[in-house]
Amino acid sequence: MIKIYKAIQKIPVILFTLTFSVGALAANPDYIEAVKLDINEFETKIFQEQPNSPWLPSGKKARVDGSDSLESFNDFLSKRFPGSFILFSKLEKTDQEQVWQNYVNTGDLGGIRSDIYTLRRKNAQQR
Amino acid sequence: MRFKVLLLTTSLFITPLSTTHAVVDKNLPFPETDQPTAQEVANQVYFANHFYAYDNFSIGAKRSRSRKAILINRSESGNDSTIAIERHLNNKYDDGVINSRDLAIFHSGNLKGTGLLVTDYVDPDKSSSYAIWLPALRKIRRFAEPSQEDSWGGSVFTFGDVTLRKPTDETHELLGKKVMRSCLGVIPDLEGKSYRYVRKLPKRSCRHVGKEVYGLKSKSKFPEWWYDYRISMIDIKTFADYRTVYYKNGEIIKIIDRDWGVMDNETESNDPRALFWKYWYGVDLQTGQESWAVIPQRIIEFNRDVDNKFWSEQTLRKIKR
Protein backbone atom coordinates (compact mmCIF):
# COMPACT_ATOMS: atom_id res chain seq x y z
CA MET A 1 0.00 0.00 0.00
CA ILE A 2 2.82 2.37 0.88
CA LYS A 3 4.49 1.68 -2.48
CA ILE A 4 1.26 2.40 -4.36
CA TYR A 5 0.75 5.63 -2.39
CA LYS A 6 4.27 6.83 -3.20
CA ALA A 7 3.74 6.04 -6.88
CA ILE A 8 0.49 8.02 -6.94
CA GLN A 9 2.29 10.97 -5.36
CA LYS A 10 4.67 11.09 -8.29
CA ILE A 11 1.95 11.34 -10.96
CA PRO A 12 1.46 15.13 -10.84
CA VAL A 13 5.23 15.64 -11.16
CA ILE A 14 5.39 13.30 -14.15
CA LEU A 15 2.44 14.96 -15.85
CA PHE A 16 3.85 18.41 -15.20
CA THR A 17 7.22 17.37 -16.61
CA LEU A 18 5.69 15.90 -19.74
CA THR A 19 3.50 18.93 -20.29
CA PHE A 20 6.38 21.30 -19.78
CA SER A 21 8.61 19.30 -22.10
CA VAL A 22 6.07 19.23 -24.92
CA GLY A 23 5.31 22.93 -24.58
CA ALA A 24 8.93 24.11 -24.55
CA LEU A 25 10.15 22.27 -27.65
CA ALA A 26 7.90 22.00 -30.68
CA ALA A 27 10.83 21.43 -33.07
CA ASN A 28 11.93 17.94 -33.93
CA PRO A 29 14.64 16.88 -31.42
CA ASP A 30 16.38 14.68 -34.04
CA TYR A 31 16.74 17.75 -36.27
CA ILE A 32 18.23 19.82 -33.45
CA GLU A 33 20.64 17.06 -32.57
CA ALA A 34 21.71 16.85 -36.21
CA VAL A 35 22.32 20.61 -36.32
CA LYS A 36 24.45 20.40 -33.17
CA LEU A 37 26.55 17.55 -34.53
CA ASP A 38 27.01 19.37 -37.83
CA ILE A 39 27.95 22.77 -36.39
CA ASN A 40 30.22 21.32 -33.68
CA GLU A 41 32.41 19.72 -36.32
CA PHE A 42 33.95 23.15 -36.96
CA GLU A 43 35.40 23.02 -33.45
CA THR A 44 35.97 19.32 -32.83
CA LYS A 45 37.06 18.46 -36.41
CA ILE A 46 35.34 15.12 -35.78
CA PHE A 47 32.07 13.83 -37.18
CA GLN A 48 30.50 10.54 -36.18
CA GLU A 49 28.21 9.08 -38.85
CA GLN A 50 24.65 8.63 -37.63
CA PRO A 51 23.15 6.02 -39.96
CA ASN A 52 19.77 6.05 -38.24
CA SER A 53 19.25 9.79 -38.34
CA PRO A 54 16.77 11.00 -40.98
CA TRP A 55 18.47 14.40 -40.85
CA LEU A 56 22.04 13.19 -41.42
CA PRO A 57 22.13 11.23 -44.66
CA SER A 58 25.43 10.06 -46.03
CA GLY A 59 26.80 12.17 -48.87
CA LYS A 60 25.82 9.69 -51.56
CA LYS A 61 22.31 9.17 -50.29
CA ALA A 62 21.72 12.86 -49.95
CA ARG A 63 22.53 13.84 -53.51
CA VAL A 64 19.57 14.61 -55.71
CA ASP A 65 18.74 11.55 -57.81
CA GLY A 66 20.51 11.47 -61.14
CA SER A 67 22.68 14.47 -60.42
CA ASP A 68 26.14 12.92 -60.34
CA SER A 69 26.72 12.97 -64.08
CA LEU A 70 24.95 13.55 -67.35
CA GLU A 71 24.88 9.78 -67.84
CA SER A 72 23.21 9.17 -64.49
CA PHE A 73 20.79 11.99 -65.29
CA ASN A 74 19.94 10.26 -68.60
CA ASP A 75 19.31 7.05 -66.74
CA PHE A 76 17.20 8.81 -64.13
CA LEU A 77 15.06 10.53 -66.77
CA SER A 78 14.51 7.39 -68.80
CA LYS A 79 13.12 5.58 -65.77
CA ARG A 80 11.29 8.40 -64.05
CA PHE A 81 10.05 10.54 -66.95
CA PRO A 82 10.15 8.43 -70.10
CA GLY A 83 8.16 10.96 -72.13
CA SER A 84 10.49 13.82 -71.23
CA PHE A 85 13.47 11.56 -71.81
CA ILE A 86 12.47 11.06 -75.44
CA LEU A 87 12.45 14.82 -76.03
CA PHE A 88 15.60 15.30 -73.95
CA SER A 89 17.55 12.75 -76.00
CA LYS A 90 16.83 14.77 -79.14
CA LEU A 91 18.53 17.88 -77.76
CA GLU A 92 22.10 18.84 -78.59
CA LYS A 93 24.60 17.75 -75.95
CA THR A 94 25.23 21.33 -74.79
CA ASP A 95 21.51 21.77 -74.23
CA GLN A 96 21.32 18.45 -72.40
CA GLU A 97 24.11 19.62 -70.11
CA GLN A 98 22.25 22.83 -69.45
CA VAL A 99 19.10 20.96 -68.44
CA TRP A 100 21.12 18.66 -66.21
CA GLN A 101 23.03 21.53 -64.54
CA ASN A 102 19.83 23.47 -63.90
CA TYR A 103 18.41 20.40 -62.20
CA VAL A 104 21.55 19.93 -60.10
CA ASN A 105 21.42 23.56 -59.00
CA THR A 106 17.73 23.67 -58.18
CA GLY A 107 16.60 20.09 -57.53
CA ASP A 108 13.36 21.06 -59.23
CA LEU A 109 11.82 18.08 -61.02
CA GLY A 110 9.14 20.23 -62.63
CA GLY A 111 11.80 22.48 -64.12
CA ILE A 112 13.26 19.62 -66.19
CA ARG A 113 10.26 19.44 -68.50
CA SER A 114 9.92 23.19 -68.87
CA ASP A 115 13.65 23.54 -69.60
CA ILE A 116 13.40 20.89 -72.31
CA TYR A 117 10.41 22.62 -73.93
CA THR A 118 12.09 26.02 -73.71
CA LEU A 119 15.22 24.76 -75.42
CA ARG A 120 13.25 22.95 -78.11
CA ARG A 121 11.27 26.12 -78.86
CA LYS A 122 14.44 28.16 -79.00
CA ASN A 123 16.09 25.70 -81.36
CA ALA A 124 13.00 25.60 -83.59
CA GLN A 125 13.00 29.42 -83.84
CA GLN A 126 16.65 29.49 -84.76
CA ARG A 127 16.18 27.12 -87.70
CA MET B 1 0.05 47.27 -33.99
CA ARG B 2 -1.40 45.81 -37.16
CA PHE B 3 0.86 48.07 -39.23
CA LYS B 4 3.89 46.91 -37.33
CA VAL B 5 2.91 43.28 -37.95
CA LEU B 6 2.53 44.08 -41.64
CA LEU B 7 5.91 45.77 -41.69
CA LEU B 8 7.62 42.98 -39.84
CA THR B 9 5.98 40.22 -41.84
CA THR B 10 6.77 41.73 -45.22
CA SER B 11 10.43 42.14 -44.40
CA LEU B 12 11.21 38.48 -44.97
CA PHE B 13 10.10 38.65 -48.56
CA ILE B 14 11.76 41.99 -49.23
CA THR B 15 14.83 41.19 -47.18
CA PRO B 16 17.58 41.52 -49.73
CA LEU B 17 16.72 45.01 -50.81
CA SER B 18 15.41 46.81 -47.81
CA THR B 19 18.65 47.60 -46.01
CA THR B 20 19.44 50.51 -43.78
CA HIS B 21 22.61 51.46 -45.57
CA ALA B 22 24.23 50.75 -48.91
CA VAL B 23 27.17 49.25 -47.04
CA VAL B 24 28.18 46.72 -49.67
CA ASP B 25 28.77 47.79 -53.26
CA LYS B 26 26.22 46.41 -55.72
CA ASN B 27 29.14 45.83 -58.05
CA LEU B 28 31.19 43.88 -55.51
CA PRO B 29 33.28 41.47 -57.59
CA PHE B 30 33.42 37.76 -56.90
CA PRO B 31 36.57 37.04 -54.87
CA GLU B 32 39.62 36.23 -56.92
CA THR B 33 41.22 34.26 -54.10
CA ASP B 34 39.92 30.97 -52.73
CA GLN B 35 41.03 32.10 -49.28
CA PRO B 36 38.93 35.19 -48.54
CA THR B 37 39.08 36.89 -45.18
CA ALA B 38 36.23 36.65 -42.72
CA GLN B 39 35.11 40.19 -43.55
CA GLU B 40 35.20 39.42 -47.26
CA VAL B 41 33.00 36.36 -46.71
CA ALA B 42 30.55 38.44 -44.70
CA ASN B 43 30.39 41.02 -47.48
CA GLN B 44 29.83 38.36 -50.12
CA VAL B 45 27.01 36.80 -48.09
CA TYR B 46 25.41 40.23 -47.83
CA PHE B 47 25.71 40.65 -51.62
CA ALA B 48 24.06 37.28 -52.24
CA ASN B 49 21.33 37.83 -49.65
CA HIS B 50 20.44 41.19 -51.16
CA PHE B 51 20.16 39.89 -54.74
CA TYR B 52 22.71 42.36 -56.06
CA ALA B 53 23.48 39.97 -58.95
CA TYR B 54 20.09 40.90 -60.46
CA ASP B 55 18.70 44.12 -61.94
CA ASN B 56 15.28 43.12 -60.67
CA PHE B 57 13.81 40.03 -59.02
CA SER B 58 10.15 39.12 -58.60
CA ILE B 59 8.23 36.53 -56.66
CA GLY B 60 4.74 36.29 -58.07
CA ALA B 61 5.08 38.43 -61.20
CA LYS B 62 3.46 35.66 -63.21
CA ARG B 63 -0.25 35.90 -62.72
CA SER B 64 -1.34 32.84 -60.85
CA ARG B 65 -4.24 32.51 -58.48
CA SER B 66 -3.05 29.19 -57.19
CA ARG B 67 0.63 29.86 -56.68
CA LYS B 68 1.98 32.38 -54.19
CA ALA B 69 4.85 32.67 -51.75
CA ILE B 70 3.69 31.94 -48.22
CA LEU B 71 4.83 32.34 -44.65
CA ILE B 72 3.61 29.79 -42.12
CA ASN B 73 4.00 30.69 -38.46
CA ARG B 74 3.49 28.00 -35.86
CA SER B 75 2.97 29.31 -32.37
CA GLU B 76 4.17 27.70 -29.15
CA SER B 77 0.75 26.10 -28.78
CA GLY B 78 0.98 24.53 -32.23
CA ASN B 79 -1.46 26.83 -34.04
CA ASP B 80 -0.58 27.75 -37.62
CA SER B 81 -1.21 31.03 -39.43
CA THR B 82 -0.44 31.56 -43.13
CA ILE B 83 0.23 34.71 -45.14
CA ALA B 84 0.46 34.77 -48.97
CA ILE B 85 2.70 37.45 -50.50
CA GLU B 86 3.84 38.80 -53.87
CA ARG B 87 7.12 40.70 -54.01
CA HIS B 88 9.22 42.70 -56.49
CA LEU B 89 12.66 44.16 -56.00
CA ASN B 90 14.63 46.54 -58.16
CA ASN B 91 18.37 47.26 -57.98
CA LYS B 92 18.64 49.20 -61.22
CA TYR B 93 19.03 52.79 -60.10
CA ASP B 94 21.82 55.09 -61.24
CA ASP B 95 20.60 58.47 -59.98
CA GLY B 96 23.05 58.40 -57.09
CA VAL B 97 20.17 58.75 -54.61
CA ILE B 98 18.21 55.49 -54.59
CA ASN B 99 20.07 52.22 -54.07
CA SER B 100 17.10 49.88 -54.44
CA ARG B 101 13.35 49.55 -54.02
CA ASP B 102 11.11 46.75 -52.84
CA LEU B 103 7.41 46.40 -53.41
CA ALA B 104 5.30 43.76 -51.67
CA ILE B 105 1.56 42.96 -51.87
CA PHE B 106 -0.40 40.80 -49.42
CA HIS B 107 -2.89 38.35 -50.87
CA SER B 108 -4.46 36.72 -47.85
CA GLY B 109 -5.74 37.22 -44.37
CA ASN B 110 -6.52 40.50 -42.68
CA LEU B 111 -3.81 42.22 -44.72
CA LYS B 112 -5.25 41.24 -48.08
CA GLY B 113 -4.83 44.07 -50.57
CA THR B 114 -2.20 45.85 -48.48
CA GLY B 115 1.00 46.98 -50.20
CA LEU B 116 4.41 48.04 -48.98
CA LEU B 117 7.13 50.04 -50.74
CA VAL B 118 10.59 50.22 -49.18
CA THR B 119 13.24 52.57 -50.53
CA ASP B 120 16.90 52.11 -49.69
CA TYR B 121 19.25 55.02 -50.33
CA VAL B 122 22.82 55.29 -51.53
CA ASP B 123 23.68 57.68 -48.68
CA PRO B 124 24.79 55.34 -45.87
CA ASP B 125 23.58 57.83 -43.27
CA LYS B 126 20.06 57.91 -44.62
CA SER B 127 17.61 55.33 -43.25
CA SER B 128 15.30 53.41 -45.51
CA SER B 129 11.81 54.77 -46.01
CA TYR B 130 8.65 52.66 -45.71
CA ALA B 131 5.31 53.48 -47.38
CA ILE B 132 2.25 51.29 -46.74
CA TRP B 133 -0.92 51.28 -48.82
CA LEU B 134 -4.00 50.81 -46.64
CA PRO B 135 -6.81 49.56 -48.90
CA ALA B 136 -9.63 50.24 -46.45
CA LEU B 137 -8.64 53.89 -46.14
CA ARG B 138 -7.33 54.24 -49.70
CA LYS B 139 -4.34 56.03 -48.22
CA ILE B 140 -0.58 55.67 -47.98
CA ARG B 141 1.02 55.78 -44.54
CA ARG B 142 4.73 56.27 -44.00
CA PHE B 143 6.82 54.64 -41.26
CA ALA B 144 10.27 55.01 -39.82
CA GLU B 145 12.66 52.10 -40.10
CA PRO B 146 12.13 49.46 -37.38
CA SER B 147 14.78 48.38 -34.89
CA GLN B 148 17.00 45.40 -35.70
CA GLU B 149 16.00 43.49 -32.61
CA ASP B 150 12.27 43.86 -33.30
CA SER B 151 10.79 40.46 -33.74
CA TRP B 152 8.01 39.43 -36.05
CA GLY B 153 4.46 39.16 -34.92
CA GLY B 154 4.20 35.37 -34.72
CA SER B 155 7.51 34.68 -36.47
CA VAL B 156 10.94 33.64 -35.16
CA PHE B 157 12.79 36.04 -37.45
CA THR B 158 13.91 39.48 -36.35
CA PHE B 159 14.39 42.48 -38.57
CA GLY B 160 18.13 42.07 -38.20
CA ASP B 161 17.92 38.42 -39.23
CA VAL B 162 16.17 39.08 -42.48
CA THR B 163 17.08 42.56 -43.62
CA LEU B 164 18.78 45.13 -41.46
CA ARG B 165 21.92 43.44 -40.11
CA LYS B 166 25.05 44.79 -41.83
CA PRO B 167 28.50 43.16 -42.03
CA THR B 168 29.85 46.06 -39.94
CA ASP B 169 27.41 45.33 -37.08
CA GLU B 170 29.52 42.32 -36.12
CA THR B 171 33.11 41.12 -35.90
CA HIS B 172 33.78 38.02 -37.94
CA GLU B 173 36.03 35.00 -37.61
CA LEU B 174 36.48 32.17 -40.08
CA LEU B 175 36.25 28.72 -38.47
CA GLY B 176 37.52 26.91 -41.52
CA LYS B 177 35.88 24.73 -44.14
CA LYS B 178 34.05 21.41 -43.98
CA VAL B 179 31.26 19.63 -45.77
CA MET B 180 27.67 20.15 -44.80
CA ARG B 181 26.30 17.06 -43.06
CA SER B 182 22.65 17.70 -42.25
CA CYS B 183 19.41 18.38 -44.06
CA LEU B 184 17.69 21.74 -43.71
CA GLY B 185 14.77 22.00 -41.33
CA VAL B 186 11.05 22.02 -42.07
CA ILE B 187 7.89 21.82 -39.97
CA PRO B 188 7.87 18.01 -39.94
CA ASP B 189 4.15 17.28 -39.88
CA LEU B 190 3.56 19.63 -42.85
CA GLU B 191 6.47 18.34 -44.91
CA GLY B 192 5.36 17.24 -48.38
CA LYS B 193 1.70 17.94 -47.63
CA SER B 194 -0.77 19.69 -49.88
CA TYR B 195 -1.10 23.33 -48.93
CA ARG B 196 -2.94 26.30 -50.28
CA TYR B 197 -1.04 28.63 -52.65
CA VAL B 198 1.96 26.33 -53.07
CA ARG B 199 0.00 23.14 -53.94
CA LYS B 200 2.50 21.03 -52.05
CA LEU B 201 4.95 22.00 -49.36
CA PRO B 202 8.51 20.86 -50.01
CA LYS B 203 10.24 18.02 -48.24
CA ARG B 204 13.30 18.76 -46.15
CA SER B 205 16.16 19.83 -48.39
CA CYS B 206 19.09 17.45 -48.22
CA ARG B 207 20.66 18.52 -51.52
CA HIS B 208 23.27 20.66 -49.84
CA VAL B 209 24.66 17.71 -47.87
CA GLY B 210 28.20 17.09 -49.05
CA LYS B 211 28.75 20.66 -50.24
CA GLU B 212 31.82 22.43 -48.90
CA VAL B 213 30.98 25.34 -46.61
CA TYR B 214 32.81 28.01 -44.65
CA GLY B 215 32.06 28.38 -40.97
CA LEU B 216 31.73 32.05 -40.11
CA LYS B 217 31.45 33.08 -36.47
CA SER B 218 29.98 36.56 -36.07
CA LYS B 219 29.85 38.39 -32.75
CA SER B 220 27.47 41.27 -32.34
CA LYS B 221 28.94 44.67 -31.50
CA PHE B 222 25.71 45.74 -29.81
CA PRO B 223 25.92 45.61 -26.00
CA GLU B 224 23.62 43.16 -24.18
CA TRP B 225 22.22 41.90 -27.44
CA TRP B 226 19.71 39.08 -27.77
CA TYR B 227 22.48 36.78 -29.04
CA ASP B 228 26.20 36.61 -28.17
CA TYR B 229 27.38 35.21 -31.46
CA ARG B 230 26.12 33.23 -34.41
CA ILE B 231 27.77 30.65 -36.66
CA SER B 232 26.82 30.48 -40.33
CA MET B 233 27.47 27.70 -42.83
CA ILE B 234 28.25 29.36 -46.17
CA ASP B 235 28.73 27.72 -49.54
CA ILE B 236 32.32 28.37 -50.66
CA LYS B 237 31.27 28.59 -54.33
CA THR B 238 28.16 30.75 -54.15
CA PHE B 239 28.20 32.40 -50.66
CA ALA B 240 24.72 31.05 -50.02
CA ASP B 241 24.26 30.90 -46.26
CA TYR B 242 22.43 27.62 -45.74
CA ARG B 243 22.27 27.76 -41.96
CA THR B 244 22.77 30.21 -39.10
CA VAL B 245 22.87 29.04 -35.48
CA TYR B 246 22.48 31.65 -32.73
CA TYR B 247 24.07 31.30 -29.28
CA LYS B 248 23.44 32.94 -25.93
CA ASN B 249 25.45 32.06 -22.80
CA GLY B 250 26.96 29.12 -24.65
CA GLU B 251 23.60 27.58 -25.59
CA ILE B 252 21.88 27.39 -28.98
CA ILE B 253 18.80 29.60 -28.87
CA LYS B 254 17.73 29.78 -32.51
CA ILE B 255 18.35 28.13 -35.88
CA ILE B 256 17.57 29.59 -39.32
CA ASP B 257 17.90 27.42 -42.44
CA ARG B 258 17.73 28.67 -46.03
CA ASP B 259 17.33 26.41 -49.05
CA TRP B 260 19.14 28.32 -51.79
CA GLY B 261 19.12 27.53 -55.51
CA VAL B 262 21.50 28.88 -58.14
CA MET B 263 20.48 30.57 -61.41
CA ASP B 264 23.87 31.34 -62.87
CA ASN B 265 23.10 29.46 -66.09
CA GLU B 266 20.57 32.08 -67.05
CA THR B 267 21.86 35.42 -65.79
CA GLU B 268 24.05 37.30 -68.25
CA SER B 269 26.87 37.70 -65.79
CA ASN B 270 26.90 34.01 -64.88
CA ASP B 271 27.43 35.18 -61.35
CA PRO B 272 27.50 32.23 -58.94
CA ARG B 273 25.95 34.55 -56.37
CA ALA B 274 22.78 34.88 -58.49
CA LEU B 275 20.67 32.89 -56.04
CA PHE B 276 17.07 32.35 -55.19
CA TRP B 277 15.65 30.72 -52.12
CA LYS B 278 13.12 27.95 -52.14
CA TYR B 279 12.37 28.15 -48.47
CA TRP B 280 13.39 29.61 -45.14
CA TYR B 281 12.86 27.73 -41.91
CA GLY B 282 13.40 29.02 -38.40
CA VAL B 283 12.96 27.65 -34.89
CA ASP B 284 13.27 29.45 -31.56
CA LEU B 285 14.50 26.86 -29.08
CA GLN B 286 13.53 29.01 -26.10
CA THR B 287 9.85 29.23 -27.03
CA GLY B 288 9.35 26.32 -29.44
CA GLN B 289 8.01 28.64 -32.15
CA GLU B 290 8.64 27.75 -35.79
CA SER B 291 8.35 29.73 -39.03
CA TRP B 292 8.49 28.44 -42.59
CA ALA B 293 8.49 30.65 -45.71
CA VAL B 294 8.00 28.74 -48.98
CA ILE B 295 8.50 30.16 -52.48
CA PRO B 296 7.42 28.06 -55.49
CA GLN B 297 10.13 28.37 -58.09
CA ARG B 298 7.65 28.77 -60.93
CA ILE B 299 6.54 32.19 -59.74
CA ILE B 300 10.05 33.62 -59.71
CA GLU B 301 11.15 35.95 -62.51
CA PHE B 302 14.22 38.16 -62.77
CA ASN B 303 15.68 40.91 -64.94
CA ARG B 304 12.30 41.66 -66.47
CA ASP B 305 11.87 44.54 -68.85
CA VAL B 306 9.94 46.71 -66.38
CA ASP B 307 10.09 50.47 -65.99
CA ASN B 308 11.36 51.82 -62.66
CA LYS B 309 8.02 53.61 -62.38
CA PHE B 310 6.50 50.28 -61.32
CA TRP B 311 8.26 50.70 -57.99
CA SER B 312 6.30 53.72 -56.86
CA GLU B 313 3.44 54.80 -54.61
CA GLN B 314 1.34 55.06 -57.74
CA THR B 315 1.56 51.27 -58.10
CA LEU B 316 0.50 50.84 -54.49
CA ARG B 317 -2.60 52.91 -55.14
CA LYS B 318 -3.58 50.63 -58.01
CA ILE B 319 -3.67 47.47 -55.89
CA LYS B 320 -7.08 45.80 -56.06
CA ARG B 321 -8.68 44.86 -52.79
Angle between helices A70-80 and A82-89 (to 10 degrees): 140
Task: Identify the residue among B156, B198, B209, B271 best suited for mutation to test binding to A, counting A beta carbons within 10 A and taking the highest.
Answer: B209
Q: Which residue of A has its CA nearest to B231?
A: A39
Q: Is residue A50 domain-shared with residue A31, that is, in the same domain?
A: yes
Residue A69 has pLDDT above 90, yes or no: no
Residue A76 has pLDDT above 70, yes or no: yes
Chain A closest-CA separation from residue B137 CA (Å): 39
Q: Is residue A15 domain-shared with residue A52, that is, in the same domain?
A: yes
| Interface predicted TM-score (ipTM) of this complex, two decimals | 0.87
Contact B262 A59 (CB under 8 A): no
A42 neighbourhood in chain B, CB within 8 Å = 175-176, 178, 215, 231
Contact B206 A39 (CB under 8 A): no
CA-wise closest residue to B159 among B46, B277, B51, B5: B5
Tell me, yes or no, if B213 comes closer than 8 A to chain A by beta carbon: no
Q: Is residue A86 domain-shared with residue A34, that is, in the same domain?
A: no
Q: How many domains does chain B have?
A: 1
Task: Identify the residue among A28, A43, A53, A65 best suited for mutation to test binding to B, counting B beta carbons within 10 A and taking the highest.
Answer: A28
Mean pLDDT over residues A60-65, rounded?
A: 54
- Within 13 Å of residue B216, how many CA atoms lie on the same side as its CB? 30
Segments forming the whole domain that contains residue B171: 2-317
Q: Is residue A87 domain-shared with residue A71, that is, in the same domain?
A: yes
Q: Is residue A35 domain-shared with residue A71, that is, in the same domain?
A: no
To 5 degrees, how large is the angle CA B108–CA B112–CA B117?
Answer: 115
Contact B178 A43 (CB under 8 A): no
Residue B13, pLDDT score: 54
Angle between helices A93-106 and A109-126 (to 10 degrees): 150
Contacts with B192 (C-beta within 8 Å, 6 or more apart), sequence order: B200, B201, B202, B203
Segments forming the whole domain that contains residue A50: 2-57
Residue B299, pLDDT score: 87
Q: Cα–Cα distance between B49 and B139 in angstroms, integer?
A: 31
Tens of pLDDT, residue by residue over B157-211, are 887 887 778 899 999 999 999 999 999 999 999 999 999 988 889 999 998 999 9
Q: Is residue A46 domain-shared with residue A73, that is, in the same domain?
A: no
CATH number at residue B180: 2.50.20.10
Q: How many CB pairs under 8 A join A and B?
A: 104
Q: Is residue A71 domain-shared with residue A122, that is, in the same domain?
A: yes
Contact A28 B188 (CB under 8 A): yes
Residue B247, pLDDT score: 97
Residue B157, pLDDT score: 86
Residue A13, pLDDT score: 37
Contact A24 B288 (CB under 8 A): yes
Q: How many domains does chain A have?
A: 2
Q: Report strand pairing: B129-134 vs B194-195.
A: unpaired
CA-wise closest residue to B230 among B170, B311, B298: B170
Percent of chain B with pLDDT over 90: 51
Tell me, yes or no, if A62 comes closer than 8 A to chain B by beta carbon: yes
Alpha-helical (H) ranges within B31-118 are: 38-49
CB-closest option in B178, B207, B265 to A62: B207
Contact B181 A34 (CB under 8 A): yes
B245 neighbourhood in chain A, CB within 8 Å = 35, 39
Q: Is residue A68 domain-shared with residue A47, that is, in the same domain?
A: no
A64 neighbourhood in chain B, CB within 8 Å = 207
Tell me, yes or no, if B206 comes closer than 8 A to chain A by beta carbon: yes
Higher pLDDT, A116 or B153: A116
Residue type, A1: M
**8 A C-beta contact, residue B158 and residue B152:** yes
Tell me, yes or no, if A46 comes closer than 8 A to chain B by beta carbon: no
B271 neighbourhood in chain A, CB within 8 Å = none
pTM reported for the whole predicted model: 0.79
B252 neighbourhood in chain A, CB within 8 Å = 32, 35-36
Q: Is residue A77 domain-shared with residue A96, that is, in the same domain?
A: yes
Tell me, yes or no, if B5 comes closer than 8 A to chain A by beta carbon: no
With a cut of 70, list the residues of chain B below it in pLDDT.
1-22, 61-65, 151-154, 264-269, 321
Contact A23 B76 (CB under 8 A): yes
Tens of pLDDT, residue by residue over A17-58, are 333 333 344 578 999 999 999 999 999 888 888 878 889 986
CB-closest option in B181, B183, B210 to A47: B181
Q: Is residue A67 domain-shared with residue A106, that is, in the same domain?
A: yes
Q: Is residue A34 domain-shared with residue A82, that is, in the same domain?
A: no
Confidence band of A4 (pLDDT split at 50, 70, 90)? very low
Tens of pLDDT, residue by residue over B299-315, are 888 899 999 999 999 99
